[in-house]
Chains A and B, each alone.
Chain A
Amino acid sequence: MRLLAIDTTVNYLSVALYDETLTYGFTRLSQRTQSRDLAPAVRDTLAATGTPPSSLEGVACTTGPGSYTGIRIGLSFAKGVAASTPCPLVGFSTLEVFAFGHAGCDGTIISVMQVSPGTFAWAHFRGGETWQRLTEDSLWSTEGLEAALPSDALLCGPGAQDLAVLQPELGKRIPPGNGLRPAPQAVDMLALAIRHFEDSGEDQLETVSPNYLRASAPEERFRRLEAVP
């Protein structure tokens, strides 16, 4: 199976390729340059691994939460590749890809990302022998977050450190490797994608949607206006 995985949902660019004999991938900082950098990076990755684009058998892409623009850059590109190759597409939550980087840890793993000051996106997963999602991605304010945390849960993701700044005792729950993964790693997504295509093989090209978690600002304003009696 030949798979391409890409992420542009945070301020990084992560690309990985798997073809059963090798796994190749990189992650680098790409602040506001993802639209410029993504396509050449994928072209170079395919060239470096001697992979003809037409031989791809699947594309995996993060769907957010994260930067609205970043989410759309990756997803639009991934859709273009998958639709035209053609090959199936699968989308993963950015929070899940973060958490999967710690899949070897037993117990509950909570993936967190600060989406605006004091507001965090999070989801719970179970690591160890079988990877399992425990809760859907959702938004929480800092208030009440600590009480909602299972006492033995690990905290990971780019928001873990932000939480620890607010509540220092939470710092003890962050695994040492978290700081090495400031962005979701496309290589981690490959493992999730392989599992997906081997299990159900469902093609999400027509169904995958961005995981913004929030309505756009104008819609929010409209909703508030309509709520006024």
Chain B
Amino acid sequence: MRILGIETSCDETSAGVVDDGRQVRSNVVASQIPVHRRFGGVVPEIASRQHVMTITGVIRQALADAGSSWREVDAVAVTVGPGLSGSLLVGINFAKGAALATGAKLLAVNHIEAHVLSVWLSSVASAGPAPDLPLVALVASGGHTELILVDAPGEYRRLGQTRDDAAGEAYDKVARLLGMEYPGGPAIEEAARVTDSEGLSLPRAWLPGTHDFSFSGLKTAVARLVREGEANGDAEPDGRHKRLIAQAFQQSVVDVLCTKLLAAVEETGACSAAIVGGVANNSALREAATQRLNVPLHLPEPGLSSDNGAMIAGAAYWNPVEAPLNVEPQPSLQLGEASA
């Protein structure tokens, strides 16, 4: 079964073609990062305006890269939530038009579920076996930080989530405090590569007895250190003080994410773990989790961590939810809630 997946829930216009829920034939992502950079974050109206301009080209390219015609597409899958309403509208209405015109099925996909199931995807035809279940997935991105227990595709239990900022959001905000560029993830990861360390340590919010996260206190602590550094005359964006702060911030985030993932795996007796979402691109997190976990760790293949259309196509195969033509954006859709 060939599925075309369309993703426009935030600031990436993306489409991908996936066969039988495993093999990624194409995955095209048009990022809007340069457009939003001067605003320091995603501006919803501008994101919507970009989506409607880029969507046709992205989808044409995804089909061309896959060597596929529209006639060979069995289903059109689209993110219906969670996400920005105006952005979701573009993908959903394009998908409706295409499904209606071609007679392909229209499948509604939950964006978080698509991230969770992104580790089922492979760019090669002879993909290895699917992850062993149950699996605990850490979904960490600019909009989400959650721990999900996956009993089977379509059967999820949310173990915990962030109570304030998402992990990626914390990276963006701290990058801004440190005078670094949006998005914060790559900027901080780069700055944090300092060889020496002065034992600068930032707090970790453990929230004992829960699988929840909190990053707002960490952000405040960074703000205080930045102010102190500026008072001491260390205001250069590339200054050593700020690099040390970036390092300590990243250590704190990585430590909390890994420890919580480990605890969730142990408590549930899960057979495997996964880290998905944009923050899964962070190599410090990947390395720490690989070292500390004693079950197999699944990471999305390159290009499948950040928002992308292929993961939407994959999720629609493993948990197909046929949508009526009147399906609407669901900006606050929860995992496990009916998407159509």
Residues of A near any B CB (own CB < 8 A): 35-40, 42-43, 46, 53-54, 56, 68-69, 72-86, 205-206, 209-210, 212, 216-219, 222
Contacts and interface: CB of A to CB of B under 8 A. Distances in A.
Interface string B43-56: 10110110111011
Contacts of B328: 35-36
A206 B89 CA distance: 19
A201 to B, nearest CB: 19
A43 B99 CA distance: 11
A85 to B, nearest CB: 5
A43 B100 contact: yes
Contact of A54 (B39, B101, B324): B101
B43 A72 contact: no
* B interface secondary structure, majority: helix
Given A35-B89, A54-B103, A83-B98, 15 more contacts: A39-B96, A39-B100, A53-B103, A69-B89, A72-B86, A75-B52, A77-B94, A77-B96, A77-B97, A79-B56, A81-B100, A84-B102, A206-B57, A218-B46, A222-B39
B92 interface: yes
B180 interface: no
B126 interface: no
A95 B328 CA distance: 28
B55 A79 contact: yes
A212 B49 contact: yes
Given A216-B49, A218-B39, A76 B102 contact: no
Nearest to B46: A216
Contacts of A216: 43, 45-46, 49
B16 interface: no
Contacts of B102: 53-54, 84-85
A206 B56 contact: yes
A80 B97 contact: yes
A205 B93 CA distance: 15
B329 interface: yes
